[in-house]
Structure 1
């Protein structure tokens, strides 16, 4: 199943166990915090980890995600009543409603097709006020992260609620023209599950060009969660752009 970690309730729990609060969340809270008491859109909010953190920091937050299982998990968490949760994607965004929009956990890379990516950026520009900011992460293809997605390097064991354990690993299956396909495998004591994922690795030039074409001006791009230059740090493009 495509993107099963977001749509299958069994794997949504695995996702939460695998992805606790980290340096990436600290980075996004810091950048969003440059706009005081912001109205924030978290597009692709998943199970709500960052949305909840942003609300706790004093922002007014809307979390949007197309995966119902992920949203149900988000709504069940403490503090979830402070956030507006919407099921869907860019089609549900009102115009001029937000000061800051974020896409985290490499949501931008799930928008594989160029037309799909352009539609998303255009919708985000419409949803932001003039001068509003878009903040997102996308892996730098020069880091060739997919080469480390293999059974040996990616294998890990996670402990779920009640002490249940699951073994998880990732295997790249195809790389072509910036599009990487891989599988995520989950071995529970009683069942094995499989999820397929497709990501687009855009170059810095491609990101800058697409943002410019959708009505954004790039403020800065960092290469790591400590705001290192591109090519240093964590193999990331951490993009901050302004709606013009």
Structure 2
């Protein structure tokens, strides 16, 4: 998980500035509309951009995140009163209470350890109704998303209400397909803040195997926000749609 967003409201403000509504949000809203799914859980909801949009579209939304500062910002947003906000994790969700579950903005990459990832998947499977859908995104490691995580290529200006902040990224490989990433920010008043996380980039076979072990059946994996096949889009994504599989009788 990103460490800074747990404690620093200033970084929550930066997150909102750097992550406006995008093609990925359009994709997730379209997928949600494809099947009846009145009750939705958004795990790793951050500052609530997508959760609030889902609620405005008429869905009953529970939005979950461990970061208190992010949830506080989400509650203050217009439409935030429509969402049930929960500080916590997938393990706290009630059984068979949701028709669909979403993990967006590459939240899946934050679960580095296989046991932790399996716990998240099993918690979501337990929370979903039979045939409920799980939808999430994760970067395809074949596209080496970390290649631009260096000060020269990642430098950017972030426009905030009280002026611009400079931002850049640094990264170091911990083990194959596992990277420790630090986002650094220098604000107009001279203050500098760092926000770090360790991220795991699972391959398609690894994702499929973990979903199968947790009790899901993979419906589709896209490679881009235009629903391109894996490997044929410059987006470099794994966009996964999985369905709760029936339990086998012993």
- After TM superposition, the score normalised by the length of structure 1 is 0.97
Instruction: Write the distance in 2 (CA, Å) between the matches of 1:50 and 1:243.
Output: 23
What residue in structure 2 maps to residue 173 of structure 1? Answer: 172
Tell me which residue corresponds to 2:244: 243
Q: CA deviation at 1:174?
A: 2.1
Quick check: 1:112–1:198 contact (8 Å CA) kept in 2?
A: yes
Give SS of 1:62's match.
strand
In structure 2, stretches of 5+ residues that fail to align are: 246-250
Does the CA-based 8 Å contact 2:218-2:241 persist in structure 1? yes
Contact 1:154 1:169 in 2 (8 A): yes
- Paired residue total: 243
Give structure 1 regions of 4+ aligned residues with deviation exceeding 6 angstroms.
none
Which deviates more from structure 2 when the two are superposed, residues 216-225 or residues 30-39?
30-39
Residue 84 of structure 2 aligns with which residue?
84
Aligned partner of residue 78 in structure 1, secondary structure: coil
C-alpha deviations, 1:190-216, integer Å up to 9, x for none?
211112211000000000000000000
Q: Is the 8 A contact 1:39 1:98 kept in 2?
A: yes
Describe the SS at the equivalent of 1:152.
helix
Q: SS state of the match for residue 20, structure 1?
A: coil
Q: CA deviation at 1:173?
A: 1.9
Unaligned runs of 5+ in 1: none
Q: What value does the CA root-mean-square deviation take over the aligned residues?
A: 1.3
Query: For residue 204 of structure 1, what is the aligned residue in structure 2?
Result: 204
TM-score, normalization: structure 2?
0.94
In the TM superposition, what is the alpha-carbon distance from 1:6 to its structure 2 partner?
A: 4.7
Equivalence for 1:194: 194
- What's the counterpart of residue 18 of structure 2? 18
